[in-house]
Amino acid sequence: MVIYYVEAIDKDGKKIKKTFRLEKEEDVFSLLEFLGLTPVKIKKIPTVLSPFYRSRVKIKKKDIIEILENLHLIVKSGLPLNVGLQDLAQDAENDAIRDMLMDIAFKIQVGYQLSEAVKPYRKYFSDVVVSLFKIGEETGSLERTLKDAAEHLKKIEDLKAKAKQALIYPAFAFVSILIAMIFWLVYVLPKILQVFKDFNMQLPITTIIIMKMSEYTQKYILLVFAGLIVLFILIKILRKKSEKFKYYTDKLILRFPIFGNILLNFNYAFFAEYIKLMIAAGLPLYQALEIMEGAMGNEVFKRAIRDAREKIALGETFSQALRENQVFSPLILRMISVGEQTGQLENQLEYIADYYYQKVDYISQNIAKMIEPIIIGFLGIFMLLLVLGLIGPIYQLISNTSRI
């Protein structure tokens, strides 16, 4: 990959500055001619400096879905891809999308296949979609592949949105309770407890516990917050650097009471949906699992897929290979086994994806009811401790005051 910084004059006579990423050095002048730009200054950028020349404008998944839908219509209409892509680029409001589409159009015009032209942008399209492009080109079914890819990306994005929606309420509830507890321990309780100290009252064990908690929170709250921030950053770094650490932390997250259940069902649906999409496109199971391994964000599922792929290479069936990992649910294993025996694996995977998609949807709709008992119980224990710790000394204080 060669990166060029270019200052040029466009068709309207305006001076523009752009950065281009090219596979070959000799393509720079052909690309500028294709874009209708007259170069004023061309500077080759060292690879080490390439991160500073990346576009700050993000390309969202919904933009990719829209591009795939439009590409499907372009192929269906018989319009040449490079011409259709140029038309899409002219209508794009996002500069990053416009540059990407023009670059893909240029590559197709000089002889690249669509799957090759989009490879530099695979972080936006994903390895799965790029592989589907290649299959569609080889089988002559690019139109159907583009349509399927758009529909399934929509479904996956909807699934991600449902999972995020389900996780927001528990996180908000937990943070709210934590802030309320800290407020009581730092601002409210110290004033009440100081009264008890001033009267030299004999305090019960529960009041002493509350007093110690309040004193500890007042003294170390900033240190605790700083420690949590450092711990969070350290965990993020370790998860990026150490595959083993990421595996164990992902495994721990999947065991969390509510968060883990949401993420588990999401990964089940994500796995089944993408495997079904690739098998429907005609991709061999082994290759589909290889691509799926790279697409999974959870290290537990990534390892399970890797192990399954290796076992399939040795002759085991899909369901047998998955069963030995003890990651996938009995329902998934049973449905895949039936699909293998009846030759209806694609349909069974679609059923699995829909089933777990509905579970995530159900959880997201009913998360408040599910987490309510936990919140009430947690608050109840905290308030019970406060009542037991304060009611006795307060009663004693009132009695002493009335005697005076």
Per-residue pLDDT of the chain (404 residues; tens, 9 = 90+): 667 667 777 777 777 776 766 666 666 767 777 777 777 677 677 665 555 555 555 788 888 888 888 888 888 888 888 888 888 888 877 778 888 888 888 888 878 888 888 888 888 888 778 888 888 888 788 888 888 888 878 887 887 787 777 777 777 777 887 787 778 777 777 777 777 666 666 767 777 777 777 778 777 778 888 888 999 899 889 988 888 899 999 999 888 877 788 888 888 988 888 888 888 777 788 888 888 888 788 899 999 999 999 999 888 888 888 888 888 989 999 999 998 888 888 889 889 988 988 888 887 777 767 777 777 777 777 777 777 767 767 766 666 665 55
Which sequence spans correspond to the domains of the chain?
2-53, 61-151, 152-404
| Contact status, residue 323 vs residue 342, Cβ threshold 8 Å | no
Which listed CATH number (1.20.210.10, 1.20.81.30, 3.40.50.620, 1.10.1740.10) goes with 152-404? 1.20.81.30
Residue 329: C-alpha distances to residues 23, 305, 310, 333, 361 (Å): 44, 14, 20, 7, 18
Exposed e or buried b per residue across 341-374, where buried means at least 16 C-beta atoms within 10 angstroms of its C-beta: eeeebeebbbbbbebbbebbbebbeebeebbeee
Same fold for the domain at 61-151 and the one at 152-404? yes
**Closest Cα partner for 239 from 285, 292, 298?**
298
Give the per-residue pLDDT at 230.
Answer: 92
* DSSP element (H, E) containing 17: strand 15-22
How far is it, in rounded angstroms, from Cα 196 to Cα 261?
46
Taking the chain, what is the end-to-end CA distance rounded to the nearest angstrom? Answer: 88
Q: Please, where are the H alpha helices in 255-344?
A: 259-280, 285-295, 299-313, 318-323, 330-342
* Class of CATH domain 2-53: alpha beta
Give the per-residue pLDDT at 106.
Answer: 84
* 109 Cβ neighbours under 8 A, 6+ residues apart: 34, 82
SS3 sequence, 103-115? HHHHHHHCCCCHH
Give the per-residue pLDDT at 353.
Answer: 86
How far is it, in rounded angstroms, from Cα 250 to Cα 297?
9
Give the per-residue pLDDT at 90.
Answer: 81
How far is it, in rounded angstroms, from Cα 182 to Cα 179?
5
How far is it, in rounded angstroms, from Cα 261 to Cα 392?
42
Give the per-residue pLDDT at 234.
Answer: 92
pTM attached to this predicted model: 0.69
How far is it, in rounded angstroms, from Cα 345 to Cα 343?
6
Tokens of 316: 């085991």
Fold of 61-151: Receptor-associated Protein (1.20.81)
Give the per-residue pLDDT at 146.
Answer: 86
Residues composing the chain: 404
Amino acid in the structure at residue 272? A
